[in-house]
């Protein structure tokens, strides 16, 4: 059996392990089972490394891989819990990194945790739901020269793929915010407050995925990584900065849209109250006249006058028309 490795097919329910040895940036294959891990590690040369991908692992599966790679138990526990804040932790012989992949659909942001272990001779990714990382692996494999620098290049490929998606989600959010703004300032009545609130909640979830990652990536770009790898992580830092700026901008736009929507509701209520007041004032005149004649007084001279009825009706209508014209000129109607 070859010492180079590809472990693509250990499948229990939705668990898939994909592992390959890279020699001078070129992928090599071997039998598809976890027992080949130790043999693959033992056969690594000075410039070779092992890239392992696990999706939705059970505890025993991850612990078996962790024992083979010599991973710290606290990091393994964090990787299993899948409710970690984005972070980077250093252990004696490997780095543990947690970040979140983000997807967006129908005003709903969904995040899934991705945990990464990077040692001198290996990179292990542990994914809990969300899209797979095959695109990151294929992208890295198409660039043989970077992969020849070891697991740091694989780490960059994974993080870069996830962070690039942040900018895509930010653009989709901005499009929805523009729709909300158009709806808020349209002439048609719409109930936008619920959608604005939902978008703000999703923006908060997006912020929790992006903002904690900026400091670790900044350290990667300045001190934590080899000199030749730092420019690649500076590029990721730039993408994170743009995503963070977009999130701040979206949040402010949503605040402004919500304030504008509430202001419009207040203006509309004031206009409705003015119309109701004007209408009540107009109808107060005939109500008062009807109230007087409804009291059945005996000594009312106009009752016996043939023009009394049309005179009272005409006078009442004239006063109502005068009040209506005054309200119309003042903008109350």
Record the tokens describing residue 327, joined without a space. Answer: 């309200």
Q: Which residue reads 């202001």 in tokens?
A: 263
At which residue do the structure tokens 């290049």 appear? 153
How many Å apart are CA 192 and CA 183, to the nearest integer? 7
Determine which helix (DSSP H) or strand (DSSP E) holds 124, and give its type and residue range. strand 122-128
Name the residue ranges covered by the structural domains of the chain: 17-263, 270-330
Distance CA 149, CA 130 (A): 28
- Note the pLDDT of residue 2: 39
At 60-96, the pLDDT tens digits run 888 888 888 889 999 999 998 878 889 999 998 899 9
What phi-psi label fits residue 164: left (phi over 0), alpha (psi between -120 and 50 degrees) or beta? alpha
Query: From CA 284, how far away is CA 282, in angstroms rounded?
Result: 5
Beta strand 49-55 pairing with 17-23: antiparallel
Provide the 10 A C-beta neighbour count for residue 67.
Answer: 13
Both structure tokens of 87: 């972070």
- Write down the CATH number for the domain with range 17-263: 3.30.460.20
Note whether 161 and 133 are within 8 A (CB). yes
- To the nearest whole number, what is the mean pLDDT of the chain? 81
Query: What pairing do the DSSP bridges indicate for beta strands 17-23 and 26-28?
Result: antiparallel
Assess contact for 184 and 255: CB atoms under 8 A.
no
Please give the pLDDT value at position 34: 61
- For tokens 């923006």, the residue is 203
The closest of 70, 24, 65 to 48, measured between CA atoms, is 24
Evaluated on CA atoms 267, 271, 272, 274, the torsion sign reads positive
pLDDT in the model for residue 12: 41
* Per-residue pLDDT tens over the stretch 253-301: 988 888 887 777 777 777 778 778 878 887 888 888 777 777 777 667 7
What are residue 68's DSSP bridge partners?
Answer: none
Domain 270-330 coded CATH 1.20.58.340: yes
Range with the poorest average pLDDT among 142-146, 281-285, 316-320: 142-146
- What is the sign, positive or negative, of the torsion defined by CA atoms of 144, 150, 152, 158? positive
Residues with Cβ < 8 Å from 36, sequence gap 6 or more? Answer: 1, 5, 7, 30
Average pLDDT over every residue of 32-48? 74
For the entire predicted model, the pTM comes to 0.74
Residue whose token pair is 């040692």:
119
Q: Which of 31-40, 227-236, 291-300, 306-315 has the highest mean pLDDT?
A: 227-236
211 CB contacts (<8 Å, ≥6 apart)? 244, 247
């Amino acid at each position: 059996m070859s010492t180079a490795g590809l472990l693509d097919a250990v499948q229990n329910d939705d668990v898939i392990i994909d592992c390959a040895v890279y020699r001078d940036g070129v992928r090599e294959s071997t039998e598809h089972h976890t027992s080949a891990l130790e043999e693959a590690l033992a056969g690594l040369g000075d410039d070779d490394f092992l890239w392992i991908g696990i999706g939705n692992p059970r505890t025993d599966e991850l612990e078996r891989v962790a024992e083979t790679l010599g991973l710290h138990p606290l990091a393994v526990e964090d990787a299993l819990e899948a409710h970690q804040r984005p972070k980077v932790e250093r252990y004696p012989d490997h780095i543990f990194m947690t970040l979140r992949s983000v997807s967006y659909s129908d005003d709903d942001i969904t995040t899934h945790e991705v945990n990464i272990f990077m040692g001198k001779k290996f990179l292990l990714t542990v994914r809990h739901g969300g899209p797979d990382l095959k695109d990151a692996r294929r992208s890295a494999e198409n660039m043989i020269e970077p992969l020849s620098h070891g697991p740091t290049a694989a780490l960059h490929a994974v993080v870069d793929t996830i962070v690039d998606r942040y900018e895509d989600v930010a653009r989709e959010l901005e499009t929805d915010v523009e729709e909300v703004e158009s709806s808020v300032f349209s002439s048609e009545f719409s109930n936008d407050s619920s959608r604005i609130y939902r978008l703000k909640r999703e923006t908060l979830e997006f912020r929790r995925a992006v903002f904690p990652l900026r400091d670790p990536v900044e350290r990667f770009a300045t001190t934590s990584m080899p000199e030749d790898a730092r420019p690649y992580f500076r590029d990721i830092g730039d993408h994170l900065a743009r995503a963070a700026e977009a999130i701040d901008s979206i949040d402010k736009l949503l605040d402004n849209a919500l304030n504008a929507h509430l202001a419009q509701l207040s203006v509309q209520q004031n206009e409705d109250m003015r119309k109701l007041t004007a209408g009540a004032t107009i109808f107060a005149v005939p109500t008062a006249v009807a109230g007087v004649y409804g009291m059945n007084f005996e000594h009312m001279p106009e009752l016996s006058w043939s023009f009394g009825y049309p005179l009272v009706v005409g006078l009442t209508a004239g006063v109502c028309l005068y009040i209506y014209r005054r309200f119309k000129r003042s903008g109350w109607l």
